[in-house]
Amino acid sequence: MSAAASARSGVRRLGVPNALAVLVDRFDGEVFDARRRVTRVRIAVVGRGEWDCVIANGVVSLAAAGGTPDAMLSATDSTWRRVALDLRHALDAYGAGRLRVRRNMHVGVGFLAATSGQSEPGRLRFVSVASRGPRLSIAEAGTGPPVLALHGLGATKGSFLTTIAALSDRFRVIAVDLPGFGDSDKPIGAAYDARFFAGAVIGLMDALELQRVYLVGNSLGGRIALEVGLSCPDRVGRIGLLAPSLAWRRGRPLQPLFRLVRPELGLIQLAPRSLVEGIVRRLIPDAEEGWVAAGVDEFLRAYLTRSGRAAFYAAARHIYLEEPHGERGFWTRLATLEPHALFIWGRHDRLVPLAFAPHVAEALPYARHLELDCGHVPQIELPDQTHAALAGFFG
């Protein structure tokens, strides 16, 4: 029996709704790098039941829900029917909270991409790229001028799904898991400072044969985008900076302690996994709601590994310790940035407050600025305004 015939037999035997049967029947493993020999995706239809799609060696089969899934997708029957008609409905439904993706966004949304039925250039793909450095996991869609999106500390490429959906009709949007995060390699002992990340970005561009790109960076990703623009201005068109991480201008009272604490301590899990997960979910407001829940899942997925913890601590340490002034200080170097830049600030951002804007304007008089009524992640909190600004700036 062929794989397709076996899948259809499973559909009939398990009473799978027609919309899910359509998705399974057109699964295309070439657009989804599961990164595991066997991957289990649990599909829930609210009020009707749950089923597992088991992916092995690029082939999918259906099974009754059982065991621990790698990803969980949940929506109403009507939402699934719309998703079966057009993948864009999946991204819209996810952004609006009608489609929940939990545990592993790479697997969950990658499965949706593989079942879209699309074959034209620019279709959504979740693949890994072998660069001259770490192997990097990307999500990309669209054709046209390339836009490379860089996530923040503890986040993944999943934080730019809304950007892919919004801009892929005009640009080739590539969201990458930075080394140390998500599904990319996590080399132990790497520097995980701005220079290291910038080198990884240039390595990815070379691997994808991209001579020049637009950059979008949120938080830490914004700091990396600036570093690429400072070190390789000929490879960058324009830079969209969403609440970018910037060097502290005032005193850093914990600086001596941070210099003593080594990120390699992250290789040791000092607290039980359940305790760490419980603390994180209690500290973050609305940790079980919508995109916040998915973001917490993505953070914990990397942080609860030895190499992921070490990468997180190393990157956080470099953010805090970066020198603001002097010949190699951040603010001194920022004044030399050549690519045009748009800074988007959140009025309610507690991590990178709006008070930084005047200092940026002093260093870069010709940079553009936009204030939005949001927090630290504009592309998710106010996607329409954020992406309209980016499209206009790049276009």
Q: What is the CATH number of the domain that holds 35?
A: 3.30.1050.10
Q: Are residues 288 and 386 in the same domain?
A: yes
| Chain segment 275-289, per-residue pLDDT in tens | 555 544 554 455 455
Position 120 in a domain? no
Q: Are residues 390 and 303 in the same domain?
A: yes
Count of H helices and E strands in the chain? 16, 13
Mean of pLDDT values over 317-329 = 88
Per DSSP, 172 falls in state E
At 216 the pLDDT is 98
CATH code for the domain of 212: 3.40.50.1820
Q: Summarize the chain as % helix, strand, coil (round to 5).
A: 45, 20, 35
**pLDDT at residue 270 above 90?**
no
What is the band of 258 on the pLDDT scale with cuts at 50, 70, 90? very low
375 touches 349 (CB < 8 A): yes
**pLDDT at residue 219 above 50?**
yes
Those residues whose C-beta lies under 8 Å from the C-beta of residue 2, and which sit 6 or more positions away, are none
Position 119 in a domain? no
**What SS3 state is found at 165?**
helix
Boundary residue ending a domain (74, 91, 114): 114
**pLDDT at residue 169 above 60?**
yes
**pLDDT at residue 228 above 60?**
yes
**pLDDT at residue 8 above 70?**
no
Sign of CA dihedral 324, 330, 331, 332: positive
Q: Are residues 18 and 76 in the same domain?
A: yes
* Sheet with strand 125-130: strands edge to edge: 125-130, 135-141, 172-176, 146-150, 213-218, 236-242, 340-346, 368-372
**pLDDT at residue 163 above 70?**
yes
224 touches 180 (CB < 8 A): no
Q: Are residues 81 and 215 in the same domain?
A: no
pTM to 2 decimal places: 0.89
Strand partners, 125: 140
At 319 the pLDDT is 87
Mean of pLDDT values over 305-334 = 90
Residue of 169, 91, 108, 143 lying closest to 379 (CA atoms): 91
The number of domains in the chain is 2
335 touches 296 (CB < 8 A): no
At 279 the pLDDT is 47
366 or 263, higher pLDDT: 366
Q: Are residues 257 and 158 in the same domain?
A: yes
Distance CA 393, CA 318 (A): 30
1 or 320, higher pLDDT: 320
156 or 285, higher pLDDT: 156
Mean of pLDDT values over 269-298 = 59
Position 23 in a domain? yes
58 or 352, higher pLDDT: 352
Residue of 126, 196, 134 lying closest to 161 (CA atoms): 126
Give the residue numbers spanning the domain of 100.
3-114
Considering only 20-29, 94-103, 261-270, which range has the smallest mean pLDDT? 261-270
The amino acid occupying position 219 is S
Q: What is the mean pLDDT of the chain?
A: 87
In degrees, rounded to 5, the angle at the alpha carbon of residue 294 between the alpha carbons of residues 84 and 205 is 85
Q: Are residues 332 and 384 in the same domain?
A: yes
Q: Are residues 13 and 76 in the same domain?
A: yes
8 touches 21 (CB < 8 A): yes
What is the band of 271 on the pLDDT scale with cuts at 50, 70, 90? very low
Q: Are residues 108 and 145 in the same domain?
A: no
